[in-house]
């Protein structure tokens, strides 16, 4: 079930600071991880966006709506629920605002408080599979890698010998061509 989230309600519940410059992006990163782990879709609403930064941005399965200063995230969520019509019952609204919760109940959407969803996020993070230790290479694999590196070293040395030979030949040609005029002058004496 996809989620409609009031972002600024949720930020302090996760231990993030609302006065931080990147609080919205930090929350979006957490929600992206949640969507990846739980295979969910999220729409998060932030209010108070300056006019030039207002609008919608996609971040993977997270759609961030930055609501302009003249409106609020609560109003945008209520409007989104109205626009969904009967399909709103397939969504979960995450907000601690009672008016938004009432509108969600009216639209037959599921309701989660920001506190409850913060617990859900933490549980999803803690239940994520931990990366296992890297497996050790067998002695045969180590030998194969060393042989590969030996071949590379031989190729590089051959290239270096060819380049240095060409450089020496060019240097000798330059010296001979510079001295031919002097040799001609000396012969004429």
CA distance 93 to 111: 5
State phi, psi for 5 to the nearest 5 degrees.
-125, 135
Residue 188 or residue 72, greater confidence: 72
Give the closest residue to 2 by CA, choosing from 49, 61, 77, 51.
61
Identify the pLDDT of residue 138: 87
Mean pLDDT of 22-48: 91
Model pLDDT for residues 103-145, shown as the tens digit of each residue: 899 999 999 999 999 999 888 888 877 666 677 888 888 888 8
Which of the residue ranges 42-46, 47-51, 72-76 would you say has the lowest mean pLDDT?
47-51
- For the entire predicted model, the pTM comes to 0.66
| Residue 13 CB contacts under 8 Å (≥ 6 apart), including other chains | 114, 115, 117, 118
Q: What is the C-alpha R_g of the chain?
A: 33
With H, G, I as helix, E, B as strand and everything else as coil, classify residue 65.
Answer: strand
């Amino acid at each position: 079930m996809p989620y409609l989230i009031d972002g600024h309600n949720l930020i302090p519940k996760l231990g993030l600071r609302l006065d931080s410059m990147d609080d919205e992006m930090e929350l979006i990163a957490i929600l992206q991880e949640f969507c990846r782990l739980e295979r969910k879709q999220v729409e998060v609403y932030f209010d108070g966006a300056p006019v030039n930064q207002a609008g919608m941005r996609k971040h993977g399965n997270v759609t961030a709506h930055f609501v302009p200063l003249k409106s609020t995230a609560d109003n945008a969520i209520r409007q989104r629920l109205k626009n969904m019509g009967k399909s709103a019952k397939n969504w979960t609204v995450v907000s601690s605002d009672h008016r938004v919760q009432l509108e969600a109940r009216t639209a037959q959407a599921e309701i989660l408080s920001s506190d409850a969803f913060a617990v859900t996020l933490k549980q999803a993070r803690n239940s994520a599979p931990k990366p296992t230790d890297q497996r050790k290479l067998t002695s045969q694999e180590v030998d194969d890698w060393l042989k590969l590196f030996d071949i590379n070293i031989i190729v590089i040395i051959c290239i270096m010998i060819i380049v240095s030979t060409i450089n020496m030949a060019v240097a000798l040609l330059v010296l001979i061509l510079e001295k031919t005029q002097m040799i001609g002058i000396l012969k004429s004496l």
